[in-house]
Amino acid sequence: MFDKILIANRGEIALRVIRACREMGIKSVAVHSTADSDAMHVRMADESVCIGPPSGTQSYLSIPAIISACEITGAQAIHPGYGFLSENANFVQIVEDHGLKFIGPSAKHISQMGDKITAKDTAKILGIPCVPGSDGGVATVAEAKKVAAEMGYPVIIKATAGGGGRGMKVAETADDLEMAFSTARSESKAAFGNDEVYMEKYLQKPRHIEIQVFGDGQGNGVHLGERDCSLQRRHQKVFEEAPGPSISPQERAEIGQICANAIGEMGYSGAGTIEFLYEDGQFYFIEMNTRLQVEHPVTEAIFGVDLVREQIRVASGQTLSFTQDDLEINGHAIEVRINAERLPNFAPCPGKVTAYHAPGGLGVRMDSALYNGYSIPPYYDSLIGKLIVHGRDRSEALARLQRALGELIVDGVDTTVPLFHALLEEKDIHTGEYNIHWLERWLETNLQA
């Protein structure tokens, strides 16, 4: 087991890793930019190293600075959290070249699943069901029209190196295709330095269902059920729950076993998430995230496992501490992402937190790096906290969420908390009758500028 781990991240996820390290008796090293000198993860870690100015490019994305911090402190391993360098295969290779351990999958698997086309080809080989689409990249409008005619409209054009909704455009008809194709390519080029795109059939009313998987790199793989992440704004998740209200035990077992088998066959090591669109009882693979997800706490709540602890164990060479038969769902959990944003336009709202009080009580967990007097910097993502609730069933979890939101106090900055108060008044939320388009349409009607 490691003696000291460096966390190459910030905010609540850095705190999450520090807590796991402390429970395991492992020393932790925080890295930080000059803008984060007073951040909570810096205060809580055993050691801290300043790695650059406020810009993420010059600090949290600076591979030389992070490697140097390991050498200075004697850290043996690096936990990347999510975002930043967590899915950068080149970073993983450099870490290993310096005799350090990356707490996550291999560079090979990150690279393999990071390219959307390669990931889809790999999924097909592993027996994972995929949405109908082009065989590889689509280079010209003429080729795009041919593929669309074969699949039928509507279609969606996606950047092969995409993520976060960038480089994605829908063409409802043949008349829309040329503009959607050129826009997707230009967005992809600007965002990722790669203008290659591919095409898929655009499903009308799907849900976003993701399967949490875990492997130990020694041929063992398990799944920890699904999360429903269908409530999204601009392809960004805002409300996640487990188990999914639309998934039957039989469907869960079937798709879960397919994913677990795939992870074992790949020899995958660590946490991963296989994401699907789900419509009319069918699952369609869209991508795999080769890291810990923001929404991992809902899975931890219903299975009673510490996914970060397991990441560290597996990275140190140990086998999984549980089998598929050990994993049983207990109750229902919901997470809402709380951002420092001003409604109704969701404009970032950095600033000083003049008062902060986290909700508590049975079945309530607040993952946040906030404290009274903390100044939220303007340089990073606007996520400032995750409120997670757990109940015996979905109704209890929703009631607990409403109660916990009422206790939460974040003064001095605007947040998205009012959005969740409003959503909990909606019948569709309580019945679970929503899809990936529901929130966008609701916002157009209920939260206009």
Active site residues: 291
Cβ count near 162 (within 10 Å): 23
| Distance in angstroms (rounded) separating the CA atoms of residues 15 and 138 | 42
Strand partners, 276: 209, 285
Q: Half-sphere exposure of residue 267, counting CA atoms within 13 Å on the CB side?
A: 6
User: φ, ψ for residue 342 (rounded to 5)?
Assistant: -100, 120
Contact 119, 287 (CB under 8 A): yes
Q: Dihedral sign, CA of 48, 52, 58, 64?
A: negative
User: φ, ψ for residue 411 (rounded to 5)?
Assistant: -105, 155
Peptide bond into 154 cis (omega under 30): yes
